[in-house]
Amino acid sequence: MNHNNTLHLIILQPTDVLFFRDGRPMEGSLAGHTAAWPLPNVINHAFHAALHRAGLSNVHLHRHGKSGEYSDDRDRKFGCLTTAGPFPLMLLNGEPPPDQQKLYLPRPLDTEVNTPQKGLRGGEEYGLPRASSTPGTEEKPTLTVTHLPVDGNWRATSSLPQPLLYPVANQRPPTKETSPKKWISSQAYQSYLNNSATQLESNDSLSDSEIAELESTIGIAIDPATGTTGHGETEGKLYIANYLRLRENFRMAVFAQAIDKEAGDLIHALFKDEPQSIIVGGQQRLCTAQRKNAPQPLPLPIGLNKKEDFNRLNDGKYAVKWILLSPAIWPEIPENQSESIKYHPGGWLPNWVCPETGHVLLKAGDTDRKPGERRDDWRKRVRELPTIRARLVAALVPKPLVVTGWALPNDVDRPEGGAKSTHLAVPAGAVYYFEADSAEDAVALAHALNWHGETAGTSIKNRRSTLLGEKGFGLGVCGTWQFHRTNGSDHHKSAINNNPERKP
């Protein structure tokens, strides 16, 4: 998505409940995974199907295939479609102009939303930094950084997985309670990137139930071959299905672009300037889609990207952290000596990080393909660029998301249909901690990892997921970090802030 004038904001309003089925079974007491917030690939597939139903003609045809093996037949359409989202969008006054809406993102895993207790300011009960407040005003909840890397020789004394150097510790006392506020506004996210403690307005942090309700129903199984029930394999079978019902003032926001070589702007041709109906998810559930030009800059948090933004550690390294705004998939890569491909375990570890040393394998400099540049020349030029001098030192990663789905039969590559391939994705909110060798390397790393690259948030440049990046996986944003400081301890590193205006 590098063309600012062709990036669209699509606002989806469900006409009823939504149903999202993946490849997991729905039998007996198993409801599958049918009512979670939809993954990015679900919305991308909905747009792709809508383009096919629209019957657009004179579009560019692509070859089908994968892993470098493609057929000679060009029978695939709409390969230019790229999307980002969906993100929860709150309409503050019932209308969707940019100044009357709030976009929400998954809360970073290294933070907690603290509700002040009587006599204490937000975060003070845990000995954490507090946000400033005006005397005589009511204390507000705060978004506080609670998890930090801990310095030490942990490789020799723990089971820390390679290539990590430091564990990430929670500064709060142990508790079984978890914050129900799983979403924060883009404005609160931006403040989090710029400061360690952020005061929140009442609608800056939300739980799942404040965005959508979960509804469950029991149904009778139907034989797909005959369309009947109560006979054969379906006799006496029931199923449970969960549905998602958005709150009245919430919508789903999606950024989309599809510039066809021959037909031009396909998104504008599909949605035009009037509300359109589009099928989203399973059971032919409808949403009303309204297209708008994407606001500039985009209403997503802008990552740190200047030399003075990043904390300098005592050993001279610069601290950069990367937080996922959307899930990412990094598959296991088998070794292929003939093509000089080394083995990579994937999973929680990005494929662009060396699994032995933790060094970042991304290139510094201009990696964009120039107009008219041949593909082979472009790849050769990028290979000759220097790598960014930085390494992964710590990570805060939750349990993986299962990414799968259910495909209908087609004559090209899936004649019988069925469950799609299953992938394990790192969820949005995961945090990766890096040490850059210099301030210049910290900036280069931020430019390579921020979703907006070197821009001021006007376009989506980087999708750091190995798989499904075009469907919205792998968006991230950069901040900075410091080591956990233990009271009375002098042997832990501390961060030296080069920016006098930043409050650690």
Answer whether residue 447 shows pLDDT above 80: yes
- Cα angle at 390 between 469 and 492, to 5 degrees? 120
Higher pLDDT, 74 or 305: 305
Which of these ranges, 2-16, 149-163, 254-268, 405-419, has the smallest mean pLDDT?
405-419
Q: What is the CATH number of domain 307-369+386-496?
A: 2.60.40.4350
Query: What does the pLDDT average to over 324-350?
Result: 93
Answer whether residue 2 shows pLDDT above 70: no
pLDDT range class, residue 413, cuts 50, 70, 90: low
Answer whether residue 503 shows pLDDT above 50: no
Q: How far apart are CA 30 and CA 24, in angstroms?
A: 9
Q: How far apart are CA 190 and CA 304, in angstroms?
A: 10
Of the candidates 291, 283, 251, 328, the one whose C-alpha atom is nearest the C-alpha of residue 37 is: 251
Percent of the chain at pLDDT above 70?
A: 81
Percent of the chain at pLDDT above 90?
A: 47
Q: Kindly list the domain boundaries of the chain, sorted by start residue.
A: 4-93+209-293, 307-369+386-496
Q: Look at the pTM and tell me if it is higher than 0.75.
A: yes
Instruction: Please give the full DSSP string across 13-67, using - where no structure is assigned.
Output: EESS-B----SS---TT---S-SSPPPHHHHHHHHHHHHHHTT--SPPEEEEEET
pLDDT range class, residue 414, cuts 50, 70, 90: low
Of the candidates 271, 289, 267, 206, the one whose C-alpha atom is nearest the C-alpha of residue 37 is: 206
Q: How far apart are CA 237 and CA 114, in angstroms?
A: 46
Hey, what are 273's tokens? 């300037």
Q: What is the pLDDT of residue 501?
A: 40
